Structure 1
Amino acid sequence: MLPRYYSYTQFEDYLQKILHALNGTVLQDLIIGKSVLQRPIYGLKFGSGKVRVLAWSQMHGNESATTRAICELLKRSDLDYLLEDIELYIIPILNPDGAENWTRVNANNVDLNRDAVLLSQPESIVLRKVCDDFQPHYCFNLHGQRSMYGSLNGSTPAQLSFLAPSGDQKKSLSVARIKAMRVINSINTNLNHRVDGIIGRYKDDFNRNCVGDFMMNSHVPTVLFEAGHSGADYSRDKVSMLVYQALVIALKSVGTNQILDADVVSAYESIPEMSTAYVDILIKNVPTPIGNRHLSIQYHEQVREGELYFIPILIGVNREDVLNGHRVIDLLGHHHFKNDLIVEGSFEIHSESLNIKIFAN
């Protein structure tokens, strides 16, 4: 499996090996457009079934777990059987420049997921052209979420999350939206027992500039996938495999004809909604001259010389909206703490005795 951060050249080499194993064509034949910095954008088509599914990943360059999941899907020995009823079109990385630089935005500093209407960027135009030409029956919009998401009460992190986007301001329950809900319900039913945290549900406020909302507004059932976080899985290896399993379930789901009824909506709405109640490290009861305080620490991700580093940053003190951490340290009765907690002017925070420091992954 690819690491969490990889250069675009590494991705191209890895993809070429997968395609070679599939006896596929060379990469030069698969270029469907270019990024702002003229990096190639690849489009892959598999299967010849009646149900057309379009999936795109890494439109936010620093969200690689779903791309890694796609690579796992393409390595399946029974891919032809899985796609017996499906024609699958995949754009593994829509934002090559963002992927290379580990940024959410593209090289013009534009969030591609807010460019569905304007189509101001070459990457957005590529995606729209594929949609228009391929005419998908379903879209899978693949993303990764930050480690701040968890259950509303803060008890459990969100390791996977999904959304059947609204297609209008009224959040209407159109046929397309209910179809997307059915796919998500299938994933939740079959995968819920395998996650360390929860499978969460995103809020469905409508924004036509977002690609998923735009597609649903165009009556194309669209499923938003979000690779989340749990525990110490900063490599996102576990969650990448969960996304891979979710993709398999979703593809099986769209390949079957099931009745759409009210139970689909109620089952979807039973998936727990999320909050941004988590931090990476929550240090409780830090002694200060004005009393004990709780410190909220979030990792800032930064690529240096081809490696992804996680830098602990103090983002708040006694924040009421922070309910939990992927790592919780209570200094009351903590026998190993040597009073060596240092907060730099940049808000980087370090402690050897608490093992809080910059690390690479």
Structure 2
Amino acid sequence: MLPRYYSYIQFEDYFQKILNTLDGSVLKDLVIGESVLKRSIYGLKIGSGKVKVLAWSQMHGNESSTTRAICELLRRSDLEHMLENIELYIIPILNPDGADNWTRVNANNVDLNRDAVLLSQPESIVLRKVFDDFQPHYCFNLHGQRSIYGSKNGSIPAQLSFLAPAGDKNKNLSAARIKAMHVINSINTDLNHHVNGIIGRYNDDFNINCVGDFMMSNLVPTVLFEAGHSGDDYSRDEVSILVYKALQIALKSVFTSHLLKVAVVNAYESIPEMSKAYVDIWIKNYKSPAGIKHLCIQFHEQVQDGKLYFIPILIGVNREDVLNGHRVIDLSDDDSFKNDLIVEDNFEIYSESLNITIFAN
């Protein structure tokens, strides 16, 4: 499997190796467009079934887990059998420049997921052309989420999350939206007991500039996949495998017909909503002359010399919205703490016994 960060050249080499194992008939017209910096954008069409599924990943360049999951799907020895009744169109990386630079935006500093209507960027135009030409029956919009999400009470992190986007400002339950909810319900049923945390549900406020909302407004069932975080899985290896499994389930579930609307909606709404309740490190009960008690630290991800580094940054003190951390250091009952925690005036933090060096925001 690819590492969490890879250069675009690394991806192209890996992708080519996968292509070499596939039937040669799928290797036509692979380059479907170019990024701002003239990197090739690839599209791969597999299968010849009646149900058309369009899946795209890494429209945000620093969200690589779903691309890795797609690569695992393509490596399956029984891929042809799995797609017996499906025609699957995959865009593995929509934002090559952002992927190479490990940024959310493209080389013009535009969030492609806010460009569905304007189509101001070449990458957005590529996706729209595929959507118009391919005319999918389902769309899978593949993303990765930050490590800040968890259950409403902050007790459990969200390792996977999904959304059946609204297709209008009134959030009507169209037939397309019910179908998308059914796909998510199928994933939740099959994977709920395999996640290290919860499977969460995103807020469905409508924004026509978001690609998923736009496609749902065109009455195409669209499922937002979000690869989340739990525990020490900062490599996102565990969640990439979970997304791979979720894709398998999703592809099987698109054949269900005659869905009972009430049952589908009730099952979908039973999936817990999430909140931004988590930080990467939460230092609790630090007693200082200033009365500081809870220090909230988040990792800043930065690529240098081809490697991804996680730089801990203090992002707040005594924040009421923070309810938990992926690493919790409670100084009131931590026997390993040797009272060597130093908090500088600029809020840089050091402790040899806790093995932390945290930088000011």
Which bracket does the TM-score occupy, shorter chain normalised? over 0.9
**Residues 304, 260 of structure 1: alpha-carbon distance in 2 compared, 3 angstrom cutoff:** same
Q: Which residue of 1 aligns with 2:306?
A: 306
**How many angstroms apart in 1 are the aligned matches of 2:9 and 2:245?**
26
Q: Which residue of 1 aligns with 2:143?
A: 143
Give unmatched runs, 5+ long, in structure 2: none
- Cα pair 1:85 1:255 within 8 Å, conserved: no
- Cα pair 1:117 1:209 within 8 Å, conserved: yes
Q: Which residue of 2 aligns with 1:198?
A: 198
Q: Which residue of 2 aligns with 1:6?
A: 6
Residue type matched to 1:225 in 2?
Answer: F
Q: Which residue of 1 aligns with 2:237?
A: 237
Q: Which residue of 2 aligns with 1:107?
A: 107
Deviates more, 1:284-293 or 1:344-353: 344-353
Residue type matched to 1:161 in 2?
Answer: S
TM-score relative to the length of structure 1: 0.96
**Residues 357, 15 of structure 1: alpha-carbon distance in 2 compared, 3 angstrom cutoff:** farther
SS in 2 for 1:12: helix
Distance apart, 1:257 and its partner CA: 3.1
Residue type matched to 2:68 in 1?
Answer: R
User: Where in structure 2 are the equivalents of 1:204-223 lying within 5 Å?
Assistant: 204-223=204-223
SS in 1 for 2:97: helix
Aligned-pair RMSD on alpha carbons? 1.6
- Cα pair 2:32 2:42 within 8 Å, conserved: yes
Q: Which residue of 2 aligns with 1:58?
A: 58
Q: Which residue of 2 aligns with 1:16?
A: 16
Q: Which residue of 1 aligns with 2:332?
A: 332
**How many angstroms apart in 1 are the aligned matches of 2:307 and 2:292?**
37
**How many angstroms apart in 2 are the aligned matches of 1:342 and 1:4?**
33
User: Where in structure 2 are the equivalents of 1:252-331 lying within 5 Å?
Assistant: 252-331=252-331
- Cα pair 1:186 1:253 within 8 Å, conserved: yes
Q: Which residue of 2 aligns with 1:83?
A: 83
- Cα pair 1:312 1:350 within 8 Å, conserved: no
- Cα pair 1:16 1:27 within 8 Å, conserved: no
- Cα pair 1:56 1:93 within 8 Å, conserved: yes
Distance apart, 1:349 and its partner CA: 4.0
Q: Please identify runs of 4+ aligned residues in structure 1 that moved more than 6 A.
A: 25-28
User: Where in structure 2 are the equivalents of 1:27-66 lying within 5 Å?
Assistant: 29-66=29-66
TM-score relative to the length of structure 2: 0.96
**Residues 346, 304 of structure 1: alpha-carbon distance in 2 compared, 3 angstrom cutoff:** farther
Cα displacement string for residues 116-149 of structure 1 (whole angstroms, at most 9, x for unaligned residues): 0000000000000000000000000000000000
- Cα pair 2:278 2:324 within 8 Å, conserved: yes
Percentage of pairs with the same residue? 80
SS in 1 for 2:266: helix
**How many angstroms apart in 2 are the aligned matches of 1:26 and 1:256?**
27
State the aligned residue count.
358
SS in 1 for 2:297: strand
**Residues 28, 259 of structure 1: alpha-carbon distance in 2 compared, 3 angstrom cutoff:** closer
- Cα pair 1:19 1:25 within 8 Å, conserved: no
- Cα pair 1:232 1:326 within 8 Å, conserved: yes
